[in-house]
Amino acid sequence: MFQPSYIKLYEQGEFARRVKLACEKLRKCSICPRGCGVDRLAGERGFCRVGKLPMVSSCHPHFGEERPLVGTDGSGTIFLTRCNLGCLFCQNYTISHLGDGREVSLEELAQMMLHLQRLGCHNINFVTPTHFVPQILGALSQAIEGGLNVPLVYNTGGYDALETLRLLDGVFDIYMPDFKYADGDVAQKLARAKDYPQMAKAAIKEMYRQVGDLVLDERGIALRGLLVRHLVLPGGLAGTREVMRFLAKEISPDTYVNVMDQYYPCYKAFENPPLDRRITPAEFEEAVRMAREEGLWRLDGLL
């Protein structure tokens, strides 16, 4: 019988220590690679523009995620507001850039998790969690006490700090990072994060160390492991070949990858060609071919 890893961690009494360490990082914020150094516990705000309390945009079963997450009853998504990246084309820009959402207490965040579990969702899927890790940990303590027992999904843009991820070892069973950009200059122009490629590579290596390749149950529903997303951008801006080579050679050829074709221009994309157009069928086919040529075979929707 599968049991999420966070239950054992909680029973060992380790959870309280992790929460304390994570919250201390908010005093001079170093939660993510930006290291803004602001005192979020005192209400100061850095790049992500959030303070002490978590902010939630929506909470509901989601049937548009990857098949191993959705299963039959959906992935229980909690969309967190704001982001530590500044992607010009963000398809959730009303949430990440414009701040669509509201502050909630840790108690309310815990109740959201339990509500999604009661609805039958196969997992609790935190969308854009990086800048709220301490708050998620604090709410999780209360949710576990309330009977939470489904896998947790860390659904991140990939711009994560190693020290923060190490605090999550044994907490999240499923890591789902994006690998958005292989080139630092592109990452700087499109997301204001020149160090994104090296940070994402280090983060994905740490995630893989913690959870390994994606493991599915007999129904094909994810229990534990790494699932990587890669959004194909117009004109090859995402650096697909390098991303796929890294995953196959430095992570695992068995890495479960979603090569995504759903790019469409929004937010400030129209001011930044070639982001002002959708990708072509040929560009997507080339991206899939690159993934296979590099040795990856577990491609979501293309198995």
- 299: in domain: no
**Which is nearest to 22 in space by CA: 159, 140, 127?**
140
Give the DSSP letter of residue 299.
B
Please check whether residue 177 lies inside any domain of the structure.
yes
Say if 301 falls within a structural domain: no
What local confidence, expressed as pLDDT, does residue 207 receive?
Answer: 98
In a domain, 302, yes or no: no
Rounded average pLDDT over 51-69: 97
Phi, psi of 258 (to 5 degrees): -105, 105
Task: Return the pLDDT at 301.
Answer: 86
pLDDT at 208: 98
Distances (CA, A) of 272 to 186, 233, 239: 12, 12, 17
Q: What is the pLDDT of residue 119?
A: 98
> What is the structure's pLDDT at 70?
97
**pLDDT the model gives residue 164:** 98
**Residue keyed to tokens 């929460």:** 19
- By residue range, what is the domain housing residue 210? 5-293
> Are residues 182 and 190 in contact, defined by beta-carbon separation less than 8 angstroms?
no
Any idea what the Cα angle at residue 162 is, between residues 159 and 165, rounded to 5°? Answer: 85
Provide the CATH number for the domain around residue 145.
3.20.20.70
Mean pLDDT of all residues in 88-100? 96
Q: Which two tokens stand for residue 24?
A: 């201390």
Query: Is residue 246's pLDDT more than 90?
Result: yes
Confidence (pLDDT) at 1: 78
pLDDT tens-digit series, residues 160-185:
999 999 999 999 999 999 999 999 99
Is 80 exceeded by the pLDDT of residue 303? no
Mean pLDDT of the chain: 97
Q: 168 lies in a domain?
A: yes
pTM score over 0.85: yes
Structural domain contains residue 77: yes
**pLDDT for residue 21 is more than 90:** yes
Residue 139 lies in a domain: yes
- Domain membership flag for residue 300: no
| Percent of the chain residues past pLDDT 70, beyond the cut | 100
* Segment 203-245, tens digit of pLDDT: 999 999 999 999 999 999 999 999 999 999 999 999 999 999 9
The domain total for the chain is 1
